[in-house]
A and B are shown apart, each in its own frame.
Chain A
Amino acid sequence: MTDIALPASRTANPFAGLMAGTTGPVIVVVLAILAIWYIAAVSLNAKFQIEIYERANQVDVPFSQLVTDTLAQERPVLPAPHQVIAEMWDTTVNKKITSKRSLVYHTGITLSSTLLGFLIGTTLGILLAVGIVHSRVLDKSMMPWVISSQTIPILAIAPMIIVVLNAVGISGLLPKAMISTYLSFFPVTVGMVKGLRSPEVIHMDLMHTYSATRWQAFWKLRLPYAVPYLFTSMKIGMAASLVGAIVGELPTGAVAGLGARLLAGSYYGQTVQIWSALLMAALLAGALVALIGVIEKQTLKYMGMDR
């Protein structure tokens, strides 16, 4: 008797299950963004398309024709999503990875300097934080420099780093990685200083009653305490590192990398190429940050801090 008492609407709505979780709402948001993108593409590209019609003396072009044409221009002001996807498909799947026209090749170049810069930046950030936490002198003398370093626009300092390093004979991957380092050490330093200082007074007192050395207090208390802070700041550092690598490719007239793709695209008005490089950079950043998230979860689980 009880099973027929269920309200009919429960089974009648096929979307009820979908919208109950997060999948449904996410799909709705993505569709909304795509819709806005398409509307923007049509309205931004229409002006140029109408000029073409006027030059060809075409009159009374139907609206549907206008929409189709604005979404299929070779150098649109704003390319439509499907154009960007098609370009990305073409330059990833249809090109050999070693080819200069392959987006995978360029992504790989940028990825390598991102990772190298991130690695150096994270190491530098941790070392700086350890120094700052343990020495008042370093705290007073280094922290202002660390903060002021980030107030200089990266676009201003990037060419100088490249030029100076080139002058002393360092070229290739390292100069670009240095710019990534420059951007990524900062969040790690700040996050680690906060993390290393986060143990409660009671925990520090406990170490004191054991007559623990500073070194022991660091390894057994401060460092484990800082781990969650480290991962959070590493996520920010990784994204900053990618930005640094791309910016590092811009002023040098680099021939390879996502930054070079952006630059070349803007020289020749290849907006589709620019947008596909941008989207690729976004996907790369997302993947790298997600990767750190996975490592974070595993580490915290191993440490017993993930409930």
Chain B
Amino acid sequence: MTRTVVEAKKLSLTFQTNDGPVHALSNIDLTINQGDFVSFIGPSGCGKTTLLRVIADLEQPTDGSITVNDVSPHEARLNRSYGYVFQAAALYPWRTIAKNVALPLEIMGLSREEQEARISRNLELVNLGGFEKKYPWQLSGGMQQRASIARALAVEPDLLLMDEPFGALDEIVRDHLNEQLLQLWAKTNKTVVFVTHSIPEAVFLSTKIVVLCPRPGRIYDVIESNLPRDRSLDVRETPEFLKIAHRVREGLKAGHSYED
């Protein structure tokens, strides 16, 4: 029996704006199990980032219920049960790479030895060993984002929330990081929730793809991937991959059709 990490029931979130209410999320029912790699995919404005932020307790739902590790997102945040990776690396420019990874550990009040151990372990994990003393601006965009993943992992959460982490990177770097991310996921057996607007990225990475559509933001389709967990970039040429990608594309199209 696999453990449920995130469970949302009839979850809704409405923003009150000057132009009237905006239904960012409407009636979301979702279950994410331990060890899943779940992607949220959809056009901008479909609420995929908002949903991730609700899980992270960065936004408060207006209706329905949600639990993270069987407690409220607020308690889960206080327990530091997730690591969050933003669209931008958001490294502090005045801190070296090692010091940036140390930031959450300092806030948690860990001992110096424990900090050192976690820094080297997690930088090694994202292949950034030897870059401890560099400042963020001395690293490429892809390396900066890897450092920010190491920072999220250093908290040692079993849940990793990633909000379009590779959106700002070029295709080649993105492919490379996607592969590395899969290896990382296989090594650490964490649960990953991944927001993206790239179909190949979502299909390549995920065990479960959640297709969202906008106005109001809602789940259109949930696709369980039958691709092997241990996969390489070549899998993108297989018929199974193309079949899933096709279903995602159809879902995105259908969710959008009423618009024009």
The interface of chain A, by Cβ under 8 A from chain B, is 200, 202-203, 205-212, 216, 220-221, 224, 227, 303-305, 307
Tell whether, in the assembled complex, residue A211 and residue B77 are in contact, meaning their CB atoms are under 8 Å apart.
yes
Bound state CA distance, A207 and B151, in angstroms? Answer: 12
With A200-B90, A209-B82 known as contacts, the answer to whether A220 contacts B77 (CB < 8 A) is: no
Do A304 and B86 touch across chains, with their CB atoms under 8 A apart? Answer: no
Interface size on B, residues (CB 8 A): 26
Can you list 11 A-B contacts (CB < 8 A)? A206-B90, A209-B84, A210-B80, A210-B107, A211-B78, A211-B107, A220-B103, A220-B106, A221-B92, A304-B93, A307-B137
Known contacts: A206-B84, A210-B107, A211-B77. The answer to whether A304 contacts B90 by CB under 8 A is no
Q: Which residues on B sit within 8 Å (CB–CB) of A207? A: 107
1/0 per residue B87-102: CB within 8 Å of A?
A: 1101011111000000
Q: Is B104 an interface residue (CB 8 A)?
A: yes
* B108 to A: closest C-beta gap in Å: 8
Least CB distance from A53 to B in Å reads 68
Say yes or no: is B56 at the interface (Cβ < 8 Å to chain A). yes
Question: Closest CB of chain B to A107's CB: distance in Å?
Answer: 37
Take A205-B58, A206-B84, A209-B84 as given contacts and tell me if A224 and B92 are in contact as well, using a CB distance cutoff of 8 Å.
yes
State whether A209 touches B77 (Cβ < 8 A). yes
The answer on a CB contact under 8 Å between B135 and A304 is: yes
Q: Please, which residue of chain B has its CB at the minimum distance from the CB of A207? A: B107
- Residue pairs across A and B with CB atoms within 8 Å: the count is 52
Specify the chain B residue showing the minimal Cβ separation from A224.
Answer: B94
Give A210 to B106 CA distance when docked, in angstroms. 10
Which of B58, B90, B106, B108 has the most CB atoms of chain A within a 10 A radius of its CB? B90
B211 to chain A minimum Cβ distance, whole angstroms, is: 26
43-72 of chain B: CB within 8 A of chain A: 56-58
Set of chain A residues within 8 Å of B135, measured between Cβ atoms:
304
Bound: A202/B57 CA distance, A = 14
Provided the pairs A202-B86, A205-B86, A209-B58 are in contact, do residues A303 and B94 lie with their beta carbons within 8 angstroms? yes
Bound CA–CA A101/B90 (angstroms): 59
Interface residues of B in 108-156 (CB under 8 A from A): 108, 135, 137, 155
Q: How far is the CA of A227 from the CA of B94 in the complex (A)?
A: 11
Q: Which residues of the partner chain A approach B87 to less than 8 Å between Cβ atoms? A: 202
A contact residues around B106 at 8 Å (CB): 220
* Chain A minimum-CB-distance residue to B157: A209
Name the distance in Å between A225's Cβ and chain B's nearest Cβ: 9
List of B residues within 8 angstroms of A203 by Cβ: 90, 92
Q: What distance in Å separates the Cβ of B144 from its nearest Cβ neighbour in chain A? A: 13
How distant is the Cα of A94 from the Cα of B26 in the complex, in angstroms? 85
CA distance A202 to B107 in the complex (A): 17
7 nearest A-B pairs in the assembled complex, by CB-CB distance: A303-B94, A209-B84, A202-B90, A304-B135, A210-B104, A210-B107, A212-B107
- Chain A CB within 10 Å — which of B78, B83, B94 has the most? B94
Instruction: Say whether A210 contacts B95, CB under 8 Å.
Output: no
CA of A220 to CA of B137, assembled, Å = 19
